[in-house]
Structure 1
Amino acid sequence: MIKKLVLAALSVSVIAVTGCSQESGGQQAAGGQGAPSGVPVNVVTVEQQNVSTTLELPGRVSAFRQSHVRPQVTGVITQRLFEQGTVVEKGQQLYQIDDLQYKAALNSAKADVASANANVKTLKAKAARYKDLMKVNAISGQEYDDVVAQLDQAMAAVSVAEAQVALAEVNMDYTKVYAPISGRISRSFYTEGALVTANQTDPLATITQLDPVYVDVQVSSEQALGLQMALRDKGSLTVDLTIPGSHQSLEGLKGTVEFSEVIVNESTGSVTIRARFPNPDNILLPGLYVRATIHLSDTAALVVPQRATIRQPDGSLSVWVVNGDNPELRSIGVLQAFDGNWQVSNGLSAGEQIIVAGYHKLRPGAKVMPIPLSKDA
């Protein structure tokens, strides 16, 4: 009887233990089914976008026109007739040079003309009398010819005297120094009372036209070839400017490429490109260092975020491409960087998914659980 009771108790214990084991196993199985099947990663789909191909280069601003004002006659400056640093107009008088000696020279030249004309009048009358005398053989033909020759010489002397008057008038006008172009004038390098000489090396002042202005940039011969092709295809190229280290906005200033030099600098291998910019507010000053961005073309191209790429030891770029739940590290070629992205030239196709976040947790043979990256991320 006791043996039967012991056996019954053991049977109940075995059943209880077996039930607990099955329940525990079921819970583990259920827990295993709910767990993630791979490493969670954020992915984006590779798509074609409109990409603007640009060329960013350093450059210098140069004046559209610049004139060094110099005197054309010798004399003492008696007046300065402009405000330094202001805008002057073409033809505006800037300086007055002492004109006393030039007035005297002009009066003397006019007197020479009057004297020459009087001599011509006398010789004309003499030639007329000699002509009548020659008809009655009162004088020889030689004497008449001599008078005619003297008359011709006197008329030539009148022409010479008149030319001297014209020259004296020019020199007289040169005592008034005018602005040859419109623009902003510099400080005056000479004051009233200073002696200046004709065609001297040092200018009296400098006038600079600031609207528009030129921006000159240097490009390599290879870049120049691409620019020439882009100019041929588009007809004109747009240029944007920034001033390094400045908070001044230049968004409203859009320039165009004017021309490219036809000669490559042998020592540097570079070619000068000149762009023209409107400058209504005179923000761009000659000599200013700028960064010029030349827009070469707009094309549809594959684009990937720069944060999705991995730089390899050899300098190449790679991305993790997702095929189902199997990631693949693939090398890609790129053309240019813009706005935090790379323009892809090879290695990817439209519609493929690449990992942009979480790839640092991947190990060889690891599975992934792709999660599309939200647009706001």
Structure 2
Amino acid sequence: MRGQRRVWVAAGVLGAAIVAAGLWGIGGRQDAPRAAAQPAGIPVTLARVAHEDLTQNIDGVGTVTSLHSVLVRPQVEGLLTALLVEEGQMVEKGQLLATIDDRAIAAALEQAEATRQSNQAQLRIVEQDLQRYRTLSQRGSISRQILEQTEAEAARLRGTLRGNQATIEAERVRLSYTRITSPVAGRVGIRNVDVGNLLRTNDSSGLFTVTQMSPISVVFALPQETLPRLQPLLGGAAPVVAHSRDGGELLGEGHLNSIDNQVASSTGTIRARAVFDNPDGKLWPGQFVTVDLRAGVLRNGLVLDSRAVRRGLDGAYVFRIEEGKAQKVPVRIVQEVEGRSLIEGLAAGDEVVLDGHSRLTPGARVEIQGDAQALARRSQP
């Protein structure tokens, strides 16, 4: 009896264990789908699309170009007797720069003046004779032929005097060339000759250059797609800002002056010129600079923090949050200014992912981190 009782107790314990295991399996199978249906969301932060006035800028790279740069060359041959300016010196228009030996030209001028005086004396004698011959011709005392010959001689001498005067003027011009003056206000460059050298008019190197520094211009190239935005700006003094090539130091502020009359077919760009007062001389001819042309203000545009915009093979896109899930939405970037993007393809108030893109896929569930409203405000200027 005692052995049978032990068997029944063991069977009861085993049955209870089987029932418990069955109940646990049923509960586990019911909880497992619930856990799989609600996986943990990907943590993200949000930014909100908002209407805003945004300054439209057109960026480019340009070269500083002087509005007036002159290679000073001799116009007469002669010995260089003096250089009256130093390299790098600022000069005014009309300032004396150098002198050339003028003795030969001065002598030729005196000779031309002496020849004119001699011909003037001859003309006075002929004119006196002509006056007498006219009186005698009226009385019939001399032949008509003598009168006509005297009139012809007087006309020849008058023509000779005009030639003498032209020669004198030409010599005076040549004499003025021996005093080389600056044709423009600007800075003197590195000289190519020293005092004592013989200057020749066919010397291509010249003495030095004088380059206007203020005002000065920047010539830059822009894509041909910007032409419709450039044309309305002509004549309106659209502001232009020039920075150093790395975009750091501000070098000057000017205005758009002109655009080229054709697009370069090889590059698909069009050249534009901006003029700067350059009072501090920070813009230097030949210098490469970055240019920021302010094309106006776009009123009430859709603006978003640029960090929210992703770029893929098909173009720019954002992840918009709808009902706690990320939806990939293609957008078009109209312009980017100081960390903000002017976009098309969204609506005001749309919430998009600002940070946490690395694990996102279309349709993924997200978990918003922080205050979405505060993030939206920080995404705006």
- TM interval, shorter chain, is 0.7 to 0.9
Deviations 1:151-205 (Å, cap 9, x if unpaired)?
2212222222122112111111111111111111112212111111236433211
| Map of 1:235 onto structure 2 | 236
Say whether 1:351 aligns with 2:349: yes
How many residues are paired up? 335
In 2, the alpha carbon distance for the partners of 1:338 and 1:302 equals: 13
In 2, the alpha carbon distance for the partners of 1:205 and 1:86 equals: 12
Provide the secondary structure at the position in 1 that maps to 2:70: strand
In 2, the alpha carbon distance for the partners of 1:123 and 1:147 equals: 7
| Map of 2:294 onto structure 1 | 295
Provide the secondary structure at the position in 2 that maps to 1:145: helix
| Map of 1:137 onto structure 2 | 140
Flag the 1:313–1:71 CA change in 2: closer, same or farther, 3 A.
Answer: closer
Provide the secondary structure at the position in 2 that maps to 1:210: coil
Once the two structures are TM-superposed, the CA of residue 289 in structure 1 deviates from its matched residue by: 0.7
TM-score by length of 1: 0.80
Say whether 1:192 aligns with 2:191: no
Once the two structures are TM-superposed, the CA of residue 45 in structure 1 deviates from its matched residue by: 2.9
Q: How does 1:218-367 map to 2 (within 5 A)?
A: 218-228=221-231, 230-231=232-233, 235-245=236-246, 248-250=249-251, 253-299=252-298, 300-312=300-312, 314-323=314-323, 326-335=324-333, 336-346=335-345, 348-358=346-356, 366=365
Say whether 1:153 aligns with 2:156: yes
CA contact (8 A) 2:242 2:250 kept: no
Say whether 1:180 aligns with 2:179: no
- 155-164 or 131-140, which moves further after superposition? 131-140
Flag the 1:112–1:203 CA change in 2: closer, same or farther, 3 A.
Answer: same
Flag the 1:73–1:342 CA change in 2: closer, same or farther, 3 A.
Answer: same
Deviations 1:245-291 (Å, cap 9, x if unpaired)?
475333xx222111111212233332111111121111111111111
In 2, the alpha carbon distance for the partners of 1:258 and 1:99 equals: 44
| Map of 1:108 onto structure 2 | 111
Once the two structures are TM-superposed, the CA of residue 215 in structure 1 deviates from its matched residue by: 0.8
- 304-313 or 70-79, which moves further after superposition? 304-313
CA contact (8 A) 1:40 1:371 kept: no
Deviations 1:86-124 (Å, cap 9, x if unpaired)?
011111111111111111101101111110011012112
AA partner of residue 284 (structure 1)? L
CA contact (8 A) 2:257 2:275 kept: yes
Provide the secondary structure at the position in 2 that maps to 1:202: coil
AA partner of residue 90 (structure 2)? V
Deviations 1:287-339 (Å, cap 9, x if unpaired)?
1111111122312222222333444454441213143xx22323131323332
In 2, the alpha carbon distance for the partners of 1:59 and 1:255 equals: 14
TM-score by length of 2: 0.79
| Map of 2:49 onto structure 1 | 46
AA partner of residue 264 (structure 2)? N
| Map of 1:7 onto structure 2 | none
AA partner of residue 308 (structure 2)? A
| Map of 2:71 onto structure 1 | 68
Once the two structures are TM-superposed, the CA of residue 237 in structure 1 deviates from its matched residue by: 2.1
